[in-house]
A and B are shown apart, each in its own frame.
Chain A
Amino acid sequence: MTRILPRAAQAVALPIVLLAIWWWTSASSDSFYFPPLSQIVSTFPETWLTGGSHSRLVTDVLPSLARLLVGYTSAVVLGTAAGLLIGSSPTLRGLTEPVLEIFRAIPPPATVPLLVALAGIDNLMKVLVIVFGCVWPILLNTVAGVRAVDPMLTDTARSYRINGLSGIRYLVLRSASPQIMTGMRQGLSIAIILMVISEMFAASNGLGFTVVQFQRTFAVPEMWTGIIVLGLLGVTLSLAFQAAERRLLRWYFGLRQAHRQE
């Protein structure tokens, strides 16, 4: 118990110092672009929270989150399924590898103007942008993971007649899951970027749209609160992902630790 306290102190010390520095140096700031932190904090509730069901939290943040969730989940399902298929057949892998490498290499924002023209500026376009952007790291990592399944385990599973769907579930997906999670982590940060970009580029609501709107109308303190909301969203999603990863890959982290201690 006595060691928890200093550790907590270490974790919060620097953030508190940095926030204090920001607070004090900006307190008497008359720069238009860097308003006092106190002003940003005081405009935060009225900008995002007040108004009940008409608050920006409901009209902008929730639609953004919904699109992100739908796009990301579709990309995970698509990427893993296609990755399993391609990874388990050497011929298919050889055929598709260069084409997939080209698709992965295309920076996803480059496709935004085209997708806007094809699918309009509504939800479908934004979901498509997110799916197209983050499916590649998930797919290619799944392929690599499926390929690296221990041949000894494959043989064992085969001699116990574990094949078909249960083979995929208990052997292939399990062995590949650390790699799939690596792909999903890369995909998640790309998905957040694309959610914001697609809204900044063409939208009528959403976080990215609102923040750019604040900037265009020179509502600088409100713009800063938007930047803070985007930052908090990124941090929250990353923490949620880490928690999920620790749960799902508990066996893997345990195994690695055991190997290290040998």
Chain B
Amino acid sequence: MTAATRPTSRWPSSRRVPPSTMLGIAGLAAFAVVLEVLPRLLQLPSNVLPPLSSILSALAGELRTVAFWQAVQDTVVQWALGLSIAVAAGASVGVLIGSVPVLRRATASTIEFLRPIPSVALVPLAVLLFGTQLRSALLLIIYASFWQVLVQTMYGVVDVDPVADQTARSYGLGRWARVRYVVWPTAMPYLATGVRLAASVALILAITAELVIGSPGLGQEINAAQSGGATALAYGLILVTGIFGLVVNVGVRTLERRVLSWHVSVRGEVTQ
């Protein structure tokens, strides 16, 4: 499962710009041209698909407002806070359950049942309990991302090499030392995968909460722009959430490479 989502791209060792980068830039440019020309050519009404230039100029105007930056900040805070809580809870519970076989067997069915419950099912409860407060969004974000981290951490802890574990035991390492020096390094790559999945799920749920519950943030701004007839701005704000998502994806992948630079999945590519 994890092998499927591990980074597989190989950078050539030379310092020249790889041809795939040039192709990518060409692709982006072509896409931008299509977005600019197509609406004009087909004479699409501006409430369907405005040309890229008017989307960007609407966005540029928005960048100068305080409300926009407030919304960005609200979304970032919700996302970061929810994700951190979910990762801390998921990793610690995962190590605990994963390393005690009795606990693992006893909780397996419960986890398999609770995990696929869509966290949007909790929207009405969140609205009744917390209204549009931050806690409402946090409830949804944490519920959705907790399971991703928990399950990956458990896989990782179970994957410990029995020879390494027995070696550690015969050198007299205690329970905590084994968790620190044997279990933790084994579980790290799995945890990283869990965090990567959780980071994008957390963003989806943050936008959901803003859209459906009305917590302050980018989702609410998109809704307000759309219902106020500012379609170009709505497109611009969607682009902003896309850039945020891209920064999250690239950021998490870079962090993963740094933290796991010693691990085969990352190291192997460099020496090739």
Complex formed: what's the CA distance from A116 to B237 in Å? 16
Q: Does B65 contact A (CB under 8 A)?
A: no
Chain B residues positioned under 8 Å from A141 (CB to CB): 4
Chain A residues positioned under 8 Å from B129 (CB to CB): 33
Instruction: Report the stretch among A51-59, A167-175, A194-202 that lies at the interface.
Output: A194-202
Complex formed: what's the CA distance from A200 to B248 in Å? 27
Would B4 and A182 count as touching, CB distance under 8 A? yes
Q: If A98-B27, A99-B31, A103-B242 touch, does A110 touch B125 (CB 8 Å cutoff)?
A: no
- Residue among A18, A101, A102, A106 with max Cβ neighbours from chain B (10 Å): A106
Would B207 and A107 count as touching, CB distance under 8 A? yes
Q: If A105-B246, A113-B223, A234-B117 touch, does A215 touch B28 (CB 8 Å cutoff)?
A: no
Q: Does A144 contact B (CB under 8 A)?
A: yes
Chain B residues positioned under 8 Å from A114 (CB to CB): 222, 226, 231, 234-235, 238
Would B211 and A201 count as touching, CB distance under 8 A? yes
Q: Does A223 contact B (CB under 8 A)?
A: yes
Q: If A95-B27, A110-B238, A234-B116 touch, does A101 touch B108 (CB 8 Å cutoff)?
A: no
Q: If A106-B242, A106-B245, A144-B8 touch, does A96 touch B124 (CB 8 Å cutoff)?
A: no
The DSSP consensus for interface residues of chain B is helix
Chain B residues positioned under 8 Å from A238 (CB to CB): 115-116
Among candidates B19, B127, B211, B249, residue contacting A113 with C-beta atoms closer than 8 Å: B211
Instruction: Report the stretch among A22-30, A36-44, A73-81, A225-233 that lies at the interface.
Output: A225-233
Q: Does A120 contact B (CB under 8 A)?
A: no
Chain A residues positioned under 8 Å from B119 (CB to CB): 193
**Which residues of chain B in 1-45 are interfacial with respect to chain A, using CB atoms and an 8 Å cutoff?**
1, 4-5, 8, 19-20, 22-28, 30-31
Q: Does A192 contact B (CB under 8 A)?
A: yes
Q: Does A85 contact B (CB under 8 A)?
A: no
Complex formed: what's the CA distance from A117 to B225 in Å? 12
CB distance from A250 to the nearest CB of B (A): 16
Would B118 and A196 count as touching, CB distance under 8 A? yes
Q: Does A91 contact B (CB under 8 A)?
A: yes
Q: Does B168 contact A (CB under 8 A)?
A: no
Complex formed: what's the CA distance from A12 to B112 in Å? 12
CB distance from B214 to the nearest CB of A (A): 11
**Which residues of chain A in 200-221 are interfacial with respect to chain B, using CB atoms and an 8 Å cutoff?**
200-201, 208, 211-212, 214-215, 218, 220
Would A227 and B125 count as touching, CB distance under 8 A? yes
CB distance from B146 to the nearest CB of A (A): 14
Q: Does B266 contact A (CB under 8 A)?
A: no
Among candidates B20, B107, B122, residue contacting A94 with C-beta atoms closer than 8 Å: B20
Complex formed: what's the CA distance from A208 to B106 in Å? 33
Complex formed: what's the CA distance from A15 to B106 in Å? 9
Q: Does A10 contact B (CB under 8 A)?
A: yes
B115-135 near A? 1/0 per residue, CB < 8 Å: 111111111110111000000
Complex formed: what's the CA distance from A230 to B203 in Å? 21
CB distance from A178 to the nearest CB of B (A): 7
Would A109 and B219 count as touching, CB distance under 8 A? yes
Complex formed: what's the CA distance from A215 to B124 in Å? 6
Among candidates B1, B23, B27, residue contacting A182 with C-beta atoms closer than 8 Å: B1
CB distance from B54 to the nearest CB of A (A): 15
Chain B residues positioned under 8 Å from A33 (CB to CB): 125, 128-129
Chain B residues positioned under 8 Å from A124 (CB to CB): none
A-side residues, CB < 8 A to B, are 7, 10-15, 18, 33, 91, 93-99, 101-114, 116-118, 141, 144, 147-148, 178-179, 182, 189-190, 192-193, 196-197, 200-201, 208, 211-212, 214-215, 218, 220, 223, 226-227, 230-231, 233-235, 237-238
* 30 residue pairs from A and B, CB less than 8 Å apart: A7-B105, A10-B105, A10-B109, A11-B108, A12-B109, A14-B106, A94-B20, A94-B22, A94-B24, A94-B27, A95-B23, A98-B25, A101-B246, A102-B246, A104-B249, A105-B249, A114-B235, A114-B238, A117-B47, A117-B231, A144-B4, A179-B4, A200-B123, A201-B212, A214-B124, A218-B128, A226-B121, A226-B124, A231-B117, A234-B117
